[in-house]
């Protein structure tokens, strides 16, 4: 009897232990399940926060990209311009003009101020008499004193855009091929070469400015000042030509060559700019690099005595504000500096296109000489 009681007690204890063990296991499983659920919720919360932060970062990046600041190897940046009240100037399509009216009023002669002006046309249009600071009359009709400037001869002449893309390589090789017949024809006659070069170099700015002008009219949008900048480049190149004509008198066959080259180049560049503005600006950038090289060789011949260092033409002295005793070397130096600036502008414009942007999204370097 006692043995039966003892056995039943032992069975009860064993069964109770098993029950407790099962209860403990079930409780442990529940706790683990709860911990896993809490950990999962925590991880999902962290993931959601990470995704939110990523979205915020991407939005910030998009906003930054929409406010692109085009700073490039060419170092062209929009100058900080403020109004008279100190507020920033908001427009890229035009700048605050130099007070031309005041200059004209100060420059006109006494007879004009007294109203004694001979009106040469029915519409009353007559050229104001402009005088220099020394009292002499301004002799040029093609430009006025407030359009003259001191050339930045400290610009880096060694900059070169290394062709990387297919378009760059095609543009670079094209310019190198165009140089071969020029070298054969002109050899070291750099005066004639410069004259021919300027008749071609003045075309791209006019073509680009014209096409951007038409685009601005079609799209009802500002050009960002690029129409004015490119037309300024064309005008500057034309002034180079007017200067070289004073130094070198072209022969009849050279004039015929100019007509042929200009006609072909104008139409070819027009088509190229319509099809690919980035390629067109890259070609011009490489052309300007070749111009820098040609003018550097020109200066070497002047220094060696192969070309006489004659006095500078009067038009060059007034246009670049050179000293009265300036020479041909001074003229070629400032022209070379202008070509370096044109190199920067066109490579910069091409870089903007390669970034997938439009020119009017970056302020144009108006007045960049």
Q: Where residue 184 sits, what CATH number does that domain have? A: 1.20.1260.140
- To the nearest 10 degrees (0 to 180), the angle between helices 190-219 and 166-186 is 140
> HSE (CB half, 13 Å, CA atoms) of 188?
9
Asked whether residue 48 is assigned to any structural domain, the reply reads: no
Percent of the chain clearing pLDDT 70 (strictly above):
66
Residues with Cβ within 8 Å of residue 158, at least 6 apart in sequence: none
Asked whether residue 64 is assigned to any structural domain, the reply reads: no
Query: Is pLDDT at 247 greater than 80 in this prediction?
Result: yes
pLDDT of residue 53: 54
Asked whether residue 196 is assigned to any structural domain, the reply reads: yes
Query: Is pLDDT at 357 greater than 80 in this prediction?
Result: yes
Asked whether residue 149 is assigned to any structural domain, the reply reads: no
Retrieve residue 43's tokens: 């991880």
Q: Which of 310, 292, 316 is nearest to 239 (CA)?
A: 316
Asked whether residue 250 is assigned to any structural domain, the reply reads: yes
pLDDT of residue 254: 82
Residues with Cβ within 8 Å of residue 193, at least 6 apart in sequence: 182, 186, 294
Asked whether residue 305 is assigned to any structural domain, the reply reads: yes
φ, ψ dihedrals at 157, nearest 5°: -90, -10
Q: Tens of pLDDT along 183-221?
A: 888 888 888 888 888 989 999 999 999 999 999 999 999
pLDDT of residue 91: 59
Residues 363, 341: Cα–Cα separation, whole Å: 16
The pLDDT of 124-150, averaged and rounded, is 79
Torsion of CA 257, 263, 266, 270, to 10 degrees: -150
- Is the pTM higher than 0.85? The answer reads no
Query: Is pLDDT at 108 greater than 50 in this prediction?
Result: no
Asked whether residue 268 is assigned to any structural domain, the reply reads: yes
In the block, tokens 């062209």 appear at 76
- Count the domains in the chain: 1
Its domain, for residue 338, covers: 166-361
Asked whether residue 346 is assigned to any structural domain, the reply reads: yes
């Amino acid at each position: 009897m006692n043995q039966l009681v003892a056995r039943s007690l032992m069975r009860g204890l064993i069964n109770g232990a098993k029950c407790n063990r099962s209860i403990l296991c079930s409780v442990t499983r529940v706790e683990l399940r709860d911990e896993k659920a809490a950990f999962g919720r925590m991880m999902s919360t962290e993931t959601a926060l990470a995704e939110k932060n990523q979205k915020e970062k991407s939005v910030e990046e998009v906003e930054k990209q929409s406010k692109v600041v085009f700073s490039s190897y060419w170092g062209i940046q929009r100058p900080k311009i403020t109004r008279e009240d100190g507020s920033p100037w908001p427009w890229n399509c035009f700048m605050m003009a130099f007070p031309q009216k005041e200059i004209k009023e100060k420059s006109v002669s006494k007879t004009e101020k007294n109203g004694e002006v001979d009106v040469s046309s029915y519409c009353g249009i007559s050229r104001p008499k402009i005088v220099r600071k020394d009292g002499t009359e301004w002799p040029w009709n093609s430009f006025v004193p407030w359009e003259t400037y001191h050339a930045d001869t400290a610009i880096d002449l060694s900059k070169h855009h290394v062709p990387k893309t297919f378009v760059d390589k095609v543009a670079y090789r094209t310019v190198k091929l165009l140089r071969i017949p020029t070298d054969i024809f002109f050899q070291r006659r750099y005066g004639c070469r410069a004259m021919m070069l300027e008749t071609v170099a003045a075309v791209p700015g006019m073509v680009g400015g014209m096409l951007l002008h038409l685009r601005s009219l079609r799209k009802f949008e500002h050009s960002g000042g690029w129409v004015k900048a490119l037309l300024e480049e064309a005008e500057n190149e034309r002034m180079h030509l007017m200067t070289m004509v004073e130094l070198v008198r072209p022969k009849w066959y050279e004039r015929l060559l100019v007509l042929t080259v200009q006609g072909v180049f104008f139409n070819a560049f027009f088509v190229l700019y319509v099809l690919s503005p980035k390629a067109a600006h890259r070609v011009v950038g490489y052309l300007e690099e070749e111009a820098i090289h040609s003018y550097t060789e020109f200066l070497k011949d002047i220094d060696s005595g192969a070309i006489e260092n004659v006095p500078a033409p009067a038009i060059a002295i007034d246009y670049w504000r050179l000293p009265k005793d300036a020479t041909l070397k001074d003229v070629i130096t400032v022209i070379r500096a202008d070509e370096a600036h044109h190199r920067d502008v066109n490579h910069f414009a091409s870089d903007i296109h390669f970034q997938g942007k439009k020119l009017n999204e970056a302020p144009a370097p108006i007045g960049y000489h």
